[in-house]
Every structure is written in structure tokens, then in C-alpha cells.
Structure 1
Amino acid sequence: MNTRDWPIRAKLTALVIGPVTGLLALWIFATTLTFGPALDLLSARTLLYDLGRPGEAVVAELQRERRLSVVQLAGDRALPELTEQRVRTDDAIVELRRKVDGGDLRDVADAQLDNRLDQLVSALDALPAGRAFIDDRKVDRAGAVGLYSGMIGSAFQAFGAMAALPDAQLNREATALTALGRSRELLGQADALLAGAVTAGRYAEGEHEQLVRTVENQRFLAEIAVADLPPGERTAYQRMTEGAGFLKLRALQDSLIRSSALPARFDMRAWDTGHAEVWQSLRDFELRGADALAERSVPMATRILVQLAAAGVLGLIAIVVCVLVALRVGRSLAQRLTGVRAAATEVAERRLPDVVARLRRGEEVDLAREAPELDHGGDEIGQVARAFNEVRRTAVRAAVDEVTLRRGFNEVILNLARRSQGLVHRQLALLDRLERRTEDPDELAGLFQVDHLATRLRRHAEDLVILAGAAPGRGWRRPVAAVDVMRGAISEVEAYDRVDVGEVAPAGVLGRAVGDVIHLLAELIENATTFSPPGTRVDVSGRSVPGGYTIEITDRGLGMSAPALAEANRKLAEPPEFDPAGSARLGLFVVARLAARHGVRVELRPSRPAGIVAAVFVPSELITDEPPVGADASAGPERRRLAKVTRLTTVPRPGRPARPGRDRSENTVVPLQSARASTVEPPADGDGLPRRIRRRGATARPRAAVADTPAHRTPEEARRAMSALQAGTARGRRDGSRAAGTDPTTPTTEPRDTGTPSTTAGPAVQPAPPAPDQRTATERDA
């Protein structure tokens, strides 16, 4: 049994309970061991008067009835005396049954005596059937003797179980009296055999041998019983056996033993007189001895009970004193240890962390007041408290050093991050100017690729700023459409071509939160693309919910286990302190910091059938109406870059045909195609509108080619084609005039998707594919 982790109170309790329990068990055992014999001595009187006396009366009546039954079987007529004797026998049996069935005798009887009482009752139940056999002369004299002797033997077996007294001397005396009773029973058997033989005039076959054995056994039992009697009773027995009746009966027994045949002149009258005198003397001696035995057992039991009470009281007092001392000492130790533990726990869990947190915030802390020293005496417990004081001081010094180191580390990270941010911003501004001035498709594709890398570098630099505890510093003055925020986040992801923008409900994000929301979404989308198979897609959708706006990012990866998911959600809900050892989960820490800054809630949950859904809940304080397209064409460089991001290269999602008036949220990113030049060729879908495509050759110039018009075009098809052409022309003019108002060098090779086609029914214009390796607008930084 491992007790190392038990509470100190449990250990002290176990230490006390062991000896006290052992002492209590010994006390109970000794008390029971002494109390049981005392009760047995007290019950001897009950056994004598409830079983001894009624049982002895039944035995005497059965002996008389046995003699008369044998005489009747030996003669030719029924004896009236036998009928009267049977009545007396039945009365004695009724009295015995009443005592046996009573509760007093059964309460003091043990298991052995209970069993023998049941045997005696069962033997007596056979008496009526035996009498019927005797009356019908279906048994001989030997059978009748065996019938009654069996019942009398059951009675003596019960007497033997009753004689088991706890005191050795009393037990020997009770055994001797029982043996005398058996000797008297053998004398009665001899009398019954002789009476039957005398009445019949001769011995039946085997009766003489049985008579001889009975007489010898009777003499042997008498000698054995007398040897165990106390000296006074033994002397009284010897004087009794020297009387004339005993001597005369012994002489008659000797004459019967010497002659194998019944003597012709045997004095049966003298036998009856001697037998009656001896039998009654023996019975009286037994009853006097039993009464004396019962009387001596009561004082002995009382003396034992007094001794037991004294020993029990003293033992109980000793146990109570031991328990009280143990409880007092144990409670004192437990209270002091509990006080040390409570004080140490308060310092370790509340005061010391609070001191460390205030030190990290740069506050001045009075250590002596905030973490006072523990004083719990001069014994081992007080030494433990003083040792904890040393540990506390060492911990505070280590916390101060750690805070100083962390502060310097954060300043170094922040300094490097700010420098990297400045360089990346300058690089992005330079790339922006180069993109506006460049018209060559190959050079423009390369610039777009460098632009995408620089955008990712800026995000990583902002990660360092966030880890250092500062704000990234990127923001907008006016609201930005939610779909543009999502596309801006996608532009900062490496595998942007695997991301699909699904259903997006119209909404706008306040400018002060746009940069952080883009960064937060970019980290989640990056995780989705990283931890999902390369051939799967990542879906981004947005919907309005009560109290705000929810953006969901769904991947088709292996997902996360339930404990890992719960731990990640806990960190997202309560941003932990930055731990450099957890560099593998920097994105999770950055997301938690950004979400906590604006009150945004981020939750990860399993997706069906596989993968993870990252739900971003933007509160209503950061949500506004979706701004109109082109509402801020001259809002500065960052706004122009976001406008460039929203000029997506989009097509309708597979399996979902384009419809007039379809919201732009149903567009998806198209993987890039490699090409060197462009030309105009007929489309493959048969809508009749021209498409600009790439063609090989560095010097190739674009040329227009109009698709062959079907020979038989229906009016509905013509109307749709013209309507789409009109909408595309209007959109191109609007974009051209907007670009001319900001920067004349801005390239117009990419059509801007306003998501609002003409009211005339018809399919939307499908823009041309981008240049080689050109990132779609969703990958480019806001």
C-alpha cells in the first residue's frame, strides 16, 4: 500500500488508529473471553432447573415404564400398572417439552446442546409407536429394553452437553454426576431384564450375557464417577454404598453373574427391595450434587464478572486516554502543518504570481510586505517554514531576473521587428510603384510573386511585434468590406490557390480592426492549408449572426483529438504568456493576442466528415454596413493596395453557373496559368463574348479576334450577350476613370469585379486569366 501521497491528517490518523485499534481489539477479546465463561456459570442454574430436573424426571418414569413393559411381554396378560405408569410418563414428557420449547433454555444453550435437545425430542416422539408394538406383542423383551434405553440414552447425551462448564473443577464434578446417572440407568436395565426373566421363568436367548455386561458396566461407571467427585462428596458416596441395601443388592448381583441359568430359589422380593433402595439413594445423591453444583457456580460467576468489570473499566480508561492524547497531538500537528501549507500556498499561488506579474508590468513592489516570511516555531515544522522562506526569496530573485531578461528580450524582438516592418513597407511601396509602371506581363508576374513574398514577410514581422506585446501599427481609416478582408487574408497565405471564398454575407469591418482581423484570418487560413492534404480545398465563408459577424474557415485535414481541441480553445479564450519554448504554436498565440485586443472570439471545432472548422466571431462593435464599391478610391497607399487585392481573378465556382446580380462572395480563386502573351479567342462556353488569353512569344502583341457567331442564335442568347458586353464596358470605363484619378501608371490589365452586373439579364463577364505565377488578388496584402 503506497501511503506517500496520503494527506498528513490521514497519516496521523493511521498512525494513531493502528495501536488504538489493536489495544481495543485486545480489550474486547479479553472481555469476551472472560465474560463468556461467566455467563456459562450463570446459565448452569438455568440448565439445571429447565433441563436437568425435568429430564431426570422423564428418565425415571421411562425406567419404571420399561420394567413394567418387559414384565407384560414376559407374562400372558396386560398389567393395569403399566397403563398408570404411561400416564405419569406422558406428564413428565409434557413438562420437559414445555421447558425445551421455552426461550430461557434455548437462549443459554449452545449449538451442541441445541442439537441434542432436538434429538431427545425426536426420540420421545417415537414412544407412542413403541408402545403400540409392545401392546401388540410385536417386539420381544430385548426389543422393549432397547426401545426405552435408546430414549434414555438421548436424555443422557443432552445431560452430557449441559455439563460443559468453564471451571475445570465444576466441569469434572458435573461429568461425575452424569456418569453416576448413567450407572443408575444400567442398574435399571439390569432390573428390567431380571424382572422379565423371573416373570417368564427363564432367561431368553442372550439375556443372561446382557445382564452380566450391564451389571459390570454399572459397577465400572460408578467407580469412574466417584474418582472425579470432590473429597467430601466422594466420602459421602462411599458411606452410602456401605449400607445394607447396597451390600444385599451386590450379593444378589454376584449370584446372578455366577449362575448362567435363573436360580430356582432366587429371592425376587429381596431384589426388588434392595434395587428400589439403591436406585432411590443414587438418585437423591445425584440431585443433591447437582443443586450444590448450581449453587457454587453463582458466586464463582459473580466473582469473575466483578474482576471482568474492573479490568474492562481500567482497559477502557486506558484506551480513552490513548485516543485523547493521540487526537490532541495529531490535531496540533495537523493544524500547524495545515497552516504552513495554507501560508505557502497563498504565497506560491496568489502573492508570488501577483508580484511577478506586477514586476513584469514594471511596477515597484515591496517584497517584504507582499510576501511576508513564515514563522511556525522552532521545531521541524518551523524549520520547514524557514526553508520555504529561503525558497520564496530565491523565487523572487529568479522572477526579477526573468522579468528583466524577458523585458530585454521583448525589446530586442520589437526593435528587430520594427526594423523589418520598415524595410518591408518600403519594399511593398517600391513594388507597388513598379507594378503600376510595368506593362510587360512576364515582369509583372515576377513583381506579383515578389509582392506576395513581401506580404508574407510583413505578416511574420507583425508576429514578432505581437509577441513583443506591441501593436502592429497597420490600419485603415474607413470600413472595409468583409469579403475584401477575407481576400486580403488569403493573399498573405502561401497556398492561396487552395482557398475558396464561399458564401459571404454583406458586411463591413471598421478600419481600426481591419489589419488585425486580416492578420488573424491569415494565421488561421495558413494553419488550415498546412495541416490538410495538398489536394484538398479550404473554404472561407461569412455570415451575419446575432451580436456580430462570423467567419468560418473549414479544412479537410485529419483534425485534432478532443483534449488537444479543448486545450487550443482554452488558449484562444485566455491568451497565455508568451513562452519561447512553444515556438511550434506561435500562430495560435498570435491569434489569441489579436482576438483579445478587439474582443473577437475564436473557436475550433470538428468538421464533418473530417477536418477542423475555425469560427471567428467579430462583435457588432466592429461591424458596420458594407461600404459601396469605389467609395474610397483615394484613401492612401494601403487603401489602394486593398483595392488592388479586391480586383480578383474570379470565375463561378464549379457546378454553380453565374447569374446576373450574383453576389461576389460566390467567386473563388482560380489557379494560375503559365503564359507569355495574350490574345483574344472565342470562348469555349459559347456565350459569344471575347476572352483574352496568353500566348507564347516575348514580342507577341495582343490582337482581337471575335468568336464566330452561331448561324442560328436565339433572341434570348443575343440579348444576354449584349447585356453582358454592356455591363463589361461600363465596368471597364469606371475602373479606368477611377485609376486615372489616382495614378496614371496603374495597370488596367486586370478588370475589377464589382459584383454588381447590369440589371439586364445575362451572364457576367468572365475576366481574363492572370499573368504567369501572378498571385490572385486574394493573396495580396491589404
Structure 2
Amino acid sequence: MLPIVSLMALWGFAAVTTASSIGDTERAKDVNAELLTPVGDFVTALQAERTAALSSDGVEGARQATDKAADALKDGINASSSDAALLDASLPERIDGLEADAGRLAALRSEASSKGAAPSTTYTKYTKVIDDAFSVIGGLTGDEGTDAASDARVVLELARAREALAQERALLAAADAAGTLSREQYALFVGAVATQRELLEPAVADLKATHQAAYQEILDGDGYARVQAVENRVRAAGPGAVSSTALAGWDTASAGVLEKLTAAETAAGTGATAKADPFGGDTLGASGIAVVLGLVGVLLSLLVSVLVGRGLIVELLDLRNSALEVAGRRLPQAMRKLHAGQGVDIDAEAPMRRLAGDELAQVGTALTAVQRAALKAASERAELLSGISGVYVSLARRSQVLLHRQLDLLDALEQRQQDPALLHELYRVDYLATRMRRHSESLLILSGIAPGRGWRDPIPLADVLRAAVAEIENAPRVQIWAVPKVSVLGGSVADVIHLLAELVENAAAFSPPSTQVQLRAARLRDGVLIEIEDSGFGMNEEALAEANRKIQSDRVDLLDAKQIGLIVVNRLRERQGLRVEVRSSPNGGVTAAVFIPEGLMRDDMPVAEGAQQGRGLAPASALIQRRGMAGA
């Protein structure tokens, strides 16, 4: 947007400049039509009247022409919409003076017509009014005018040169009427000739070429040559009597030259201004072209910016959607495959793009590289976990073989031993071996493999609870309450025992040795709820939330060495479709709730006779699980 704003600023400057030129042309045309033209016509008429008044020939017609020009001047001043003070501070005063001079024409004429009126006085008063008019013209030409007209100051000099010739004509008309040229008139005549010649030819050289031709034709014409010849003869003769020979051809030649000078002056000044077109090429010029081209450039720039901007937005949206798809769907899906042990083709999941020249394409390539790096790291980690799992399985299988042999050996020793003390020690070793077997099974469970133990027939829930309690070291601390007469299906028995054993062992480990762990079961409409409650120090809300997350999460980190038992519970819960939750106990400890759905249960199973026999609760349960169930 910055280049566009800069371009619009430049275009705005050109537009303001062009509008200013158009305004100047309009103002110049208004000034020309309302003031300059009426003042010029008034000067021309007054010059003719001055000559007629001094020659006493055609005075009435000259006065009527002057009155008509004076009325037009007054109308133009009254109708002027331009503020004269803005053109020249003294211009309003000059216009008022000229208006007053026009109002005093009647008195001037009366004085000039009276007997005994001196021609020099009449000449001076008429010339004074004409000078006031030139003063107004000088103030008006302070405006810049238009490019179509020549320089206003040059045109004013030509007007003064024409006035000098008109003065010559008036002085010679007075001399011709009186038959003599006084010294005063001679001095004025010589001065007028000098002014006319000093102003006319140099000013013509400063005109525009289109306006020089008319003046050059006058200067090169026969009329102007005869005028100059008469001027030379009068200047050479000096003051005194004026002969008809000296003035031969003067009236005709001077009148013709004055008429042509007036026409050429009008064409170079007011006429050219009146014809000026505010919206034409002369006025607008290069600035008008700059405005048009600038507007086209601004519109094209805006169009290109919009198209490019929309293209960038579309590409950015595609890039954003692609990144969100990778982060929200493709990458998690690939991670789930790796977590499930399935292979992932990195080239198919995240095909590598070629590096393009476009920056957005390079960002997309970088995102793809990040995705590939994440998949590669996850794949390597999955391979590592798979390797670790294989090691777990191998170690667990070997441990199970040894532990089964050890348990068989212990069973044989227990059968032959009669000493109560030694028998008690053998039971303790039996407990340890049972726990070791559960830990081996935990390794298999974490590796995704079912443990070696299994049952074909349903097992009463009471035996399942006793078997779970038998697998912990502090079995006497666990109090089993009344159990519903239901059985667990054989395919789920091993996992339920293992899950309950992990939870019971946690309850016994994290509660004081002097307290008991309560194990209760209740029949519900759609399953069985088992609660394991301890009287320990409890857990805060954050710890409970973390434990439940590990138990219920679909994704577990096998490299997390803390609370391996909860991860084992998670795997067993997921495999059997159980619901497990840890919550605070009303007694201050922790309660672990396990819900076994109806699909894993069977009602009204008779209690096995072996479940009521044994040498105490914990040892008997251990023997039932190790002997009766292992052979099922």
C-alpha cells in the first residue's frame, strides 16, 4: 500500500496543480470579459474623441462612441465577479478613479467646447483620463492570464506605444487646425514619437510567435512607413507653421496604423484570453497529461494490488488450512498408527516439495520438512519402543519359566514341611515369587501381549478378589466384604486379577501399616462395581487428575518410569473394556473404583469348594490361584 499511497499523493499534487491552472484560466477569462475588454474599448474611444476634440472634426460621433464604451465599462465593473483586491491591493482605488473620470466626461467636453479653451489643456485632461485607464489595465495585468495570450506586460507596452501614436495624431490634428505647432506641442510630439519607437519594436520581439506576425506586418507596411516619414519631417521642421506638404498622407496613414495596432493588440491580449479553453491543451499542457496518466497508473496499481493481494490471501489461506490439516488430522493420525505399532510411509504422508522461488511456497516446503522431521522422530521412537517391547517380552517369558519352576518347587517343599516356622517362611517366599510372576506379566502387558495364565470356565468373583489380594505382600491387611454371587468369564479373569492386584498393592503401599484396606463389591444393573479404599494420606486434586489421566488416556508413554502400575491398569482397562477411576475417600484416603460391565459377568455361579479351604485367608487364596486356577 505504501507505493500506491505515494503514487496517489503525486497524482493528487498534479491534479491540484492542473485544477489551479484551469481556475486561473477561468479567472483570467472573467477578468478579461468584465474589465480588461471594456477598459481597452474605453481607451480606444477616448483616444479618438481626444483627436476629434482637438481637430474640431467629427466630435459628436466620437463622443457617442465614448459614451457607449463608458456605459459598457460601468456595466463590466458592476458585474465583475473577481475580487480586484486579490489581483492588486491598489486596483479597487484605481477602478474607482477611472469610474469617476468617466462620470466627469460631460464637464471635460463642455470645457473643451468652450471658446478660448486651450488645446494643450484639453489634450492634457483627456490624456490624464487615458493614463488612469492604463493604470487600471496595469493592475489587471498583474494576474497570470492564460497560456494562449502573450505576456500581459508586453501587451501593455504595445498599448502604451499605440497611445503614443494616438497622442501624436491628436497633437498634429490640433496643429493642423491652428495652422501652427507650438513649442509645447512640439515637445510633446517629439516625446510621443520617441516613446512610440522605443516601445513598439522591442515589445514586438517579446511577443509569442503567433502574435508577432500581425505586428511585423504593420511595421513593414507602407502605412507605418508614411507615419514615420511624417514624424521625421515634423521633428526636422521644428515648432512653427505646419504646411500641408509636411502632413501629406498623415491622417489616413496614422488612422490605418492605429486601427491595425488595436486589432493586433486585441489578438495578442484580450482576444487570445477570450478564446482560451480552460480544458484545452494550451491550459492543461504536460500537467493535464500527467493527471490522466497518473489516474490510469493509480487505477492500474490498485487493480494489480487487489489481484496480487487476493492471490496472496488465497495462498495464505491454503497454507494455513494445510498447516491446520497437518497439525489437526494428518500428523495425529500418523502418530496413532505409530503408537499402535503400524508402519508409516513418510514419503506418502508428507511428500517433499521442491523448493520454489515464491516465499509462500518456501514456507509450505518448510512446514512439510517439519512434518517429515516429526514423523521421522516419532517413527524412530516407535522403533525404539518396539525394540524395548521385544526385550520386555523375552525377559518376561524367561522370568515366567523360572518363576513357574520356582513355584512348583515351593509347592513341593510346603507339602513336605511340618515345622510351622519354616512353613511360614516358605509362604513368605511364595508371596515374593507370586509378586515376581505378576511383574513379569506386567512386562508382557506393557508389550501388548496377553499373559500366560488363562481360564476357560467362569470363576466366582469372590475367588477373583482373593486371588488379587493373594498377589500382594501385605495380604492380611486387606478386608474383603460380602461379594455378590457372580462369576467373571474365563477370558477376562487373568486381566481382572492383575488389575485389582495393582490397585490393592497401591492402596496397601500408600497407607499406614496399622490400617486396613477395604475391598467391596456391589451388583449394579449393568455390571459390578468394585471399590478399593485405603485410609492413607490421600491425594490432592492435581495428583488425582494426573492418575486418572494415566488410567483413562488412550495414549500412554511407556518410557514414563513413574507409576508403572497405573500404565498397566490402563492397558488392562482398555483391553477388557473396564472403567477405572481414582477419587478421594470420605475417610481421607483414596478410593479406586473398578466397573466390570455385564458382558464380562455371569450370575448365580456356585462358590468353588476350594475357595473355603486353606491355611488362612491370604495364603489359602494364593494357593487357590497358584494351584486350582493355574491348572484350569
Larger gyration radius, structure 1 or structure 2 = 2
Higher helix share: 2
TM score, norm. by length of structure 1 = 0.41
